[in-house]
Amino acid sequence: MLSEKTDIRQLDLEALKVWFTKNDEKAFRAKQVYEWLWKKNARNFDDMTNISKPLRDRLMQEFVIRGVEVDDEQKSRDGTIKSAFRLHDAHVVEGVLIPSSSRMTACISSQVGCSLSCKFCATGRLKRLRNLNADEIYDQVVNLRDQAHKHYDQNLTNIVYMGMGEPLLNYRNVLRSVEKITSGDGLGMAPKRITVSTAGIARLIYKLGDDEVRFNLALSLHAANDTKRNHIMPINQQNTLDALADALKYFYAKTGTRVTYEYIIFKDFNDTLQDARELAEFCRHIPCKINIIEYNPIDDGEFQQADPDKVEAFAAFLENLNLIVNVRRSRGKDIDAACGQLANKNKAVGSPHFK
């Protein structure tokens, strides 16, 4: 049975100050505890060594710290590390540490499962069980940062919200987690080092613009043709390309941030020069860059990897139109850690016993 105590990380600094004042404690103690929770990542009140023992005992009586634990860790031949993160209620999400010559990237999840059912994505086959809290998202980053230090003696350089779930359908917690990650009271990372990826929910892209977010936005596009995109991404039926284009124009006008289009290229589906022309036309709406992503097959999937010569011709066509194009090779495929493969494979989501 889960504890009835309040998770102390659900309180902001002002709420903590109120609690301390009501309990006849100095308000500055709230700042000390807050720093232990976020900057020093304490997972036990007894770790808070500059807090008196009686006060620590009182905090333990009233609050809990529900930290995220690394329950399983797999290392790919290419150095990519996939982690199964166990949450306080026994649900499991996955995150990935991706090392390269120029960066150290943490790929994190925002939901337990996903509700969007994209045909090419293993996560889309899972039922969405719940949203992650901001502290659960934050903890993934902390754990992956610690792995980067342990295995590579390097700091994280980038964070991508490209793991399990649709980040914009967990809008409040995702933005709160970004706030903590970028805060001086948290990890202090620059917002421009963070990318939030969405399958494309127009009304929430408008909201990102209204909130004038400072992080990067990536759109999982994969087809610049409504018929094809409807086939692989049911979300497109309510968020057509025209609707997304208008939302992205608004986002760019409000933030001045260039958007990245992610384009998984599938054999005999979206790999022709006509597909490239349609993508180029969509790119005319706002300044952007394009990541062409190698497809990672999933069990019983209907798609296959595009032929290398077609990928090369597709990229060259776009580059000849002066578009910024990167061809991304997949990492961590041998441990099902690559793009679209996160599905808690061989692990029962929600089960406390999967090892």
Binned at pLDDT 50, 70 and 90, residue 121 comes out as: confident
pLDDT given at position 328: 86
Q: 232 and 85, same structural domain?
A: yes
pLDDT-based confidence at residue 335 (cuts at 50, 70, 90): low
Q: What is the mean pLDDT of the chain?
A: 91
For residue 95, give its domain range. Answer: 69-335
285 exposure class (CB count in 10 Å sphere: 0-12, 13-18, 19+): middle
pLDDT, one tens digit per residue, over 284-333 is 999 999 999 988 777 666 889 999 999 999 999 999 999 999 998 766 55
- Using CA atoms, how far apart are residues 175 and 170, in angstroms rounded to an integer? 9
Look at residues 119, 121, 124, 162 and name the one whose alpha carbon lies nearest to residue 260: 162
pTM exceeding the 0.85 threshold for the entire prediction: yes
Give me the half-sphere count of Cα atoms (radius 13 Å) on the Cβ side of residue 338.
19
Shared domain for 18 and 85, answered yes or no, is no
Regarding beta strands 92-99 and 111-112, do their DSSP bridges make them parallel or antiparallel, or are they unpaired? Answer: unpaired
Q: Are residues 159 and 131 in the same domain?
A: yes
Report the CATH number at residue 303: 3.20.20.70
Q: Are residues 133 and 234 in the same domain?
A: yes
Question: Does residue 349 lie within any of the structural domains?
Answer: no
Helix, strand, coil proportions of the chain in percent (round to 5)?
A: 40, 20, 40
Same domain, 311 and 209: yes
Q: How far apart are CA 248 and CA 232, in angstroms?
A: 21
- Asked whether residue 344 is domain-assigned, the answer is no
191 and 319 share a domain? Answer: yes
The domain boundary, picked from 31, 47, 64, lies at 64
Annotation marks residue 94 as catalytic: yes
3 occurs within a structural domain: no
pLDDT in tens, 97-113: 999 989 999 999 999 99
Q: Is 260 a member of any domain?
A: yes
- Match 């000390």 to its residue by tokens: 32
Longest C-alpha distance within the chain, in Å?
Answer: 71
For 50, 269, 328, the CA distances from 274, given in Å and listed in that order, are 65, 11, 21
**Of 25, 94, 262, 294, catalytic:** 94
CA distance linking residue 120 with residue 298, whole number of Å: 7
Residue 123 shares a structural domain with residue 201: yes
Residues 103 and 55 in one domain: no
Residue 256 maps to a domain: yes
How confident is the model at residue 226, as a pLDDT?
98
pLDDT tens digit sequence for 154-176? 999 999 999 999 999 999 999 99
pLDDT band at 336 (very low <50, low <70, confident <90, very high): low
State how far the alpha carbon of 206 is from the alpha carbons of 203, 209, 210, 348, in Å: 5, 5, 6, 36
How long is the chain? Answer: 355
Q: Looking at the domain assignment, is residue 177 inside a domain?
A: yes
CATH number (domain holding residue 32): 1.10.150.530
Domain membership of residue 355 (yes or no) is no
- pLDDT tens digits, one per residue of 8-42: 999 999 999 999 999 999 989 999 999 999 999 99
Residue where a domain stops, chosen among 64, 88, 110: 64
Distance from C-alpha of 156 to C-alpha of 105, rounded to nearest angstrom:
6
What total of structural domains would you count in the chain?
2
Residue 40 and residue 154 in one domain: no
Q: Are residues 97 and 230 in the same domain?
A: yes
- Residues 6 or more apart whose CB falls under 8 angstroms from that of 63 comprise 5, 6, 7, 8, 45
Residues 168-225 pLDDT 10s: 999 999 999 999 999 999 999 999 999 999 999 999 999 999 999 999 999 999 999 9
Residue 74 and residue 222 in one domain: yes
- Examine residue 289 and state whether it is found in any structural domain, yes or no: yes
Is the per-residue pLDDT at 355 higher than 50?
A: no
In this structure, the answer to whether residues 46 and 184 fall within a common structural domain is no
Where does residue 230 rank: exposed (0-12), middle (13-18), buried (19+ CB within 10 A)?
Answer: middle
Give the active site residue among 114, 118, 121, 339: 339
